[in-house]
Structure 1
């Protein structure tokens, strides 16, 4: 057996120029497959951890996916708001530890604006229960003196060039509507959050009272004519919010999650629902995950083309090797030995390409990981291969062996006489 492996290796080495190109193409296909699988796995993990440490998300009665879209990803809008009285009733439940209200609906140059409380910066978690951290500055104070203070995500700061002390104005609604700016009540950036790789990065955070203040002289989505209220005068009004869009809820014990969920669903004064973030995110990934499957399919197509190249190269060289194979038959090699020789060559070429591709994939992830983390907030793990990567690696090698069956079967059918007297 060792002799045949040695013979296969020497035979492949004698044609190293041609087979080297095949090895390179298989390496590129394997690197693409393994890199995309790692990216897919880490993206899915990051997606599932867009919010962590929150036991329930409460909103108006709708579906779990729409609720997650606007409460976590700031996409779309709520069909109805939640009354603050209802949130206070939920907060008084014996199993509830904390409630963080969220108010959405405004924007700043295409970025969503989130109204919340200072507890948001203490309670919100992402990833593996990582807390929010400030790159510079501080959270908004949440007091009347600091009414017009804003904390922006890293993407907002980097894309728009904002820093501490920058003045920004909010717009009514989530799209560019002429005349919908709250230009009379500008905000000052007092904090910039570190990049998280979540929707927090593209969000402008202000207090709930600030959102009430900028809408005092608005009604029905438009400013009230002749009723403009100056920024300083707004502080004299009652700015306690009456409604919010959704809320994050933390429990004293995870065991009580279904008890509180039933309490919210059965709340008589308002039609509400509470969803488990992990379950809802899983449903949402099933909806948006078609992109990952398309990328994986394209990578598989590249791998198939590379293996087809292996078959083509071996078949093209088979006529030139007829005399070599005939000599092997003449010295006593059985047809199965010829088949085994070609299969061994195909396995060696495929294995070399797959190993080279794996090294390239892990090397590129290790090298580009820190840059991707700092630039996009995506954490790529350069550790041990995942189960999916092992499966893809094995699939590439197995496909190479299967592809080698074609020239091996062709060689099997070559007769000794045909090999000694090749046609010209």
Structure 2
């Protein structure tokens, strides 16, 4: 070990309490910086995989982001519906392996009601192609027994305390916030909760899933968005009517081969029956993230400022100790240490403190991540990665060490300027 490193370690050991507090401050700031970076990347990956395994999303002609917002995130309303005849023709394309229709329009206490088929639970994937799981109950059955059955997302069930077997009433339209008033109720045709989905961190958590026939059934005595005056058809009689859907809002498509996705997309976009749009959900999710992901950059900037505060504390501790160490530095000069060696001594001390802070910060990050990962996955559907630091995180660590080395120039330059006579003079 060179004399500079030996003296630096001895000096740090002699001031162990102040050094420990400095290392802890740097470690906390480094853990925050890397934690924000990791959560930011994992949140972006989770957002991009809100819908995975789906090759195309089909809806009425509109913008890609708008189609994704109302079909996947259930935000906003469609410009138009897609006729059921068109959906059947799209499903009959030779390259289409499966199709899941989605019908929106009704709500329950501010949460969207999604009309679909049992194939939704089979083909909907999120994250790394993870399937939806049931926390309780089962999927709704088909006709005729499952006509008035509903499956609840995890957030809906938790917010209102619903359990399997309870009966709930759907609202017509999507007005009103969560728990707020609705336009009208389908009170004569309540639905029975038959399943509650496990939390997935996707918009499905905030939705109620019913069969397409169930949506048709509650509207058999409605016309033009309002009840038909003097007409009241009870739930025991609606099965006599034709409950086949007339139109849907959108559809999720899976193809036999990913290589055919652009060919099928062009064919759907040029569909002669009615104006349709087919979008690539992955590419559109990335486009949407670029619009709503500004908060992540602000959060990263705040954590970088915290790191700078930690490094400023490091400099303050080293500078404050210089007054007590002027005699020590002067003795080193008297014993033959050059100005460059005194400069290196202070720089190495700061670098060692910053390096120890980075190591401890990594340990804190992995410890906190191991504790928080199960809770984040269960409550928010965020899959927190606990692997080795990525290239970006190594870059941040290198930047912290580089910044600490630059910050150490302040006390090192001051020590460099101390003369031997000044250090040996007793000040009164």
Structure 2: any 5+ residue segments left out of the alignment?
A: none
**Contact map agreement 2:125 2:131 (CA 8 A) in 1:** yes
CA RMSD of aligned residues (A): 1.6
Measured after TM superposition, the shift of residue 60 of structure 1 is 1.4
Measured after TM superposition, the shift of residue 149 of structure 1 is 0.2
Measured after TM superposition, the shift of residue 232 of structure 1 is 1.9
Distance 1:242 1:422, change over 3 A: farther
Measured after TM superposition, the shift of residue 227 of structure 1 is 2.2
Per-residue Cα deviation, 1:118-138 (whole angstroms, up to 9, x for no partner)? 111111111111222222222
After superposing the two structures, state which structure 1 stretch, 219-228 or 87-96, moved more. 219-228
Are residues 1:198 and 2:209 paired?
no
2:185 aligns to what SS in structure 1?
A: coil
Question: Equivalents in 2 of 1:59, 1:179: separation in Å?
Answer: 26
Match of 1:152 in 2: 152
Measured after TM superposition, the shift of residue 223 of structure 1 is 2.6
Measured after TM superposition, the shift of residue 84 of structure 1 is 1.2
Match of 2:171 in 1: 171
Measured after TM superposition, the shift of residue 88 of structure 1 is 1.4
Could you tell me which of 263, 266, 286 is aligned with 2:267? 263
1:101 aligns to what SS in structure 2?
A: strand
TM-score, normalised relative to structure 2? 0.95
Match of 2:236 in 1: 232
Question: Equivalents in 1 of 2:268, 2:188: separation in Å?
Answer: 39
Question: Equivalents in 2 of 1:391, 1:108: separation in Å?
Answer: 48
Measured after TM superposition, the shift of residue 338 of structure 1 is 1.0
Superposition pairs of residues 131-146 of structure 1, within 5 angstroms? 131-146=131-146
**Contact map agreement 1:323 1:422 (CA 8 A) in 2:** no
Match of 2:57 in 1: 57
**Contact map agreement 1:4 1:341 (CA 8 A) in 2:** yes
Question: Equivalents in 2 of 1:60, 1:18: separation in Å?
Answer: 66
**Contact map agreement 2:103 2:212 (CA 8 A) in 1:** yes
Distance 1:179 1:79, change over 3 A: closer
Match of 2:253 in 1: 249
Distance 1:175 1:423, change over 3 A: farther
Measured after TM superposition, the shift of residue 178 of structure 1 is 4.4
Per-residue Cα deviation, 1:359-396 (whole angstroms, up to 9, x for no partner)? 01100111121122222222212222222322222222
Match of 1:347 in 2: 351
Match of 1:292 in 2: 296
**Contact map agreement 2:319 2:411 (CA 8 A) in 1:** yes
1:190 aligns to what SS in structure 2?
A: strand
Superposition pairs of residues 301-316 of structure 1, within 5 angstroms? 301-316=305-320
Question: Equivalents in 2 of 1:241, 1:155: separation in Å?
Answer: 28
Question: Equivalents in 2 of 1:232, 1:2: separation in Å?
Answer: 91
Match of 1:33 in 2: 33
1:100 aligns to what SS in structure 2?
A: strand
Moved over 6 A (4+): none
TM-score, normalised relative to structure 1? 0.96
Match of 2:20 in 1: 20
Measured after TM superposition, the shift of residue 349 of structure 1 is 0.8
Measured after TM superposition, the shift of residue 279 of structure 1 is 0.4
Question: Equivalents in 2 of 1:336, 1:411: separation in Å?
Answer: 10
Measured after TM superposition, the shift of residue 422 of structure 1 is 6.0
Measured after TM superposition, the shift of residue 423 of structure 1 is 4.9
Structure 1: any 5+ residue segments left out of the alignment?
A: none
1:104 aligns to what SS in structure 2?
A: coil
Question: Equivalents in 1 of 2:120, 2:210: separation in Å?
Answer: 11
Could you tell me which of 398, 401, 406 is aligned with 2:410? 406
Question: Equivalents in 2 of 1:196, 1:297: separation in Å?
Answer: 29
1:268 aligns to what SS in structure 2?
A: coil
**Contact map agreement 1:25 1:306 (CA 8 A) in 2:** yes
Match of 1:325 in 2: 329
Match of 2:2 in 1: 2
Measured after TM superposition, the shift of residue 179 of structure 1 is 4.7
2:358 aligns to what SS in structure 1?
A: helix
Measured after TM superposition, the shift of residue 289 of structure 1 is 1.0
Question: Equivalents in 2 of 1:179, 1:90: separation in Å?
Answer: 34
Per-residue Cα deviation, 1:275-330 (whole angstroms, up to 9, x for no partner)? 11110111111111111111111111111111111112212222222211111111
**Contact map agreement 1:167 1:187 (CA 8 A) in 2:** yes
Count of residues in correspondence between the two structures: 424
**Contact map agreement 2:172 2:182 (CA 8 A) in 1:** no
**Contact map agreement 2:175 2:183 (CA 8 A) in 1:** no
**Contact map agreement 1:111 1:203 (CA 8 A) in 2:** yes
Match of 1:46 in 2: 46
**Contact map agreement 1:322 1:422 (CA 8 A) in 2:** no
